[in-house]
Amino acid sequence: MATETLTESRPTRFESHVAFDNIPLGDPTPYNPISFTLNVRHAGFQFRRRHRTFMVGVDDNAYSDHALRWLLDELVDDGDEIVCVRVIETQVRLTDKTYQDDAKALMESIQHKNVQNRAISLVLEYAVGKLHNTFQHLIKIYQPSMLIVGTKGRNMEGVHGFLVNRSSFSKYCLQYSPVPVVVVRPTEKREKKKAKRAGDPSRQSYIQILGGRKHEADSDDSSAYQLEPILTADEEAHRVAVAVGLPATYDPTIKPLDTSTLLRRATRQPVKETVKKVAQPVEKKEDSGSEDEEEGFEVSAGADLLKKEKLHKMELNEGAALRAEMNKNSTASQDSDEDPGGGGAKT
């Protein structure tokens, strides 16, 4: 058993999941195209928060195989999902089940291309219908983060390029795809084009284009082209806190409030002086013909005014108590005058 585990081939690490066969139905629905769907997942596959879905077109051409290899080697990571789309534009007989065997063989070949043993999920849509409509339908269903297609790497210039563009699926995806598109060119074509550009004698570098002149950012007036203002660390942290909406504790320019200092200041602060206007200035004429004199304003402290008001209230209260006592004594004296007999018994 241990030997079998060690010599286990890489494709067997994928586990088959639910498969759907909608080809016998004949008519597509908004969520079910005419296709035979296979779904396999790696044994270590787990859905993650940053889960991504990629869609790639596969067929029998070499450039399509190159696009799939580039996707598996350069772009995907553990936890991602790859939707492989194979479109058959010819009519399929409903009684012929060979399309299921072809789809299963294609899925096995895709699993073998996972040479880096990524923990991914693979979905194969073996669809029947028109190429462009089928891709647009599947993009609406899966909503992938990116669409990857291959290209033959032909020259798209002149009349030949115009004729090729009419049947180029990669060109169609670049123009009408609602999601970002990556067109993967064959490696030999890309290296050949790169070598051709490097050997072009008329090609110039950026320094050669300047012609020995200094760039405006390197001149003496470079301070006029300062794009970013020079900020201190506290000011930069303040702007970041305001932009992100962080609490005041993350803003170094906002200092904490010291309540003890404020209380100390309040006790030491002198009482504000109040200005009381006694009377309006009155014009007074003298017989000697002297100039008019105006009365000034009486200025007194707030503490003195409060003390005077308190004394005035005390005087009013004492006066009221004295009057009440006097009224009480006068009432008692009147009662004694009305009874001169000393209160004897009546017969």
Instruction: State the alpha helices, DSSP H only, in the chain.
Output: 2-6, 62-70, 98-112, 131-142, 158-165, 169-176, 187-198, 206-210, 233-244, 259-268, 302-338
Where does the pLDDT of residue 163 fall: very low under 50, low under 70, confident under 90, or very high at 90 and above?
A: very low
* 52, pLDDT greater than 90: yes
* 165 phi and psi angles, rounded to 5 deg: -65, -25
The pLDDT of residue 80 is above 70: yes
**Pairing outcome for strands 81-88 and 121-128:** parallel
* Distance from C-alpha of 147 to C-alpha of 320, rounded to nearest angstrom: 99
**Rounded mean pLDDT of the chain?**
76
* Whether the Cβ atoms of residue 127 and residue 85 lie closer than 8 Å to each other: yes
Percentage, residues of the chain above pLDDT 70: 69
pLDDT digits (tens, 9 = 90+) for 102-152: 999 999 999 999 999 999 999 999 998 899 999 999 999 999 999 999 987
Q: What is the pLDDT of residue 160?
A: 43
**How far apart (Å, rounded) are the C-alpha atoms in residues 146 and 55?**
6
Residue 255 — pLDDT band, cuts 50, 70, 90?
confident
Global confidence as pTM: 0.53
The pLDDT of residue 29 is above 50: yes
CA distance 298 to 164: 103
Higher pLDDT, 42 or 259: 42
Q: Is the distance from CB of 56 to CB of 149 less than 8 angstroms?
A: yes
The pLDDT assigned to 8 comes to: 44
Judge whether residue 308 has pLDDT over 90: no
Whole-angstrom Cα distance, residue 212 to residue 313? 96
Q: How far apart are CA 51 and CA 41, in angstroms?
A: 14
Neighbours of 161 (CB within 10 A): 13
pLDDT at 223: 57
* pLDDT at position 180: 94
Residue 142 or 320, more confident: 142
- pLDDT for residue 291: 46
Q: At what angle do helices 169-176 and 131-142 cross, to 10 degrees?
A: 40
**Which stretch of 3-17, 37-51, 61-75, 146-160 has the lowest confidence by average pLDDT?**
3-17
**Band of pLDDT at residue 267, cut at 50, 70 and 90:** low
pLDDT at 83 over 60: yes
Over pLDDT 90: what percentage of the chain?
Answer: 24
Give the residue, 153 or 306, on which the prediction is more confident: 306
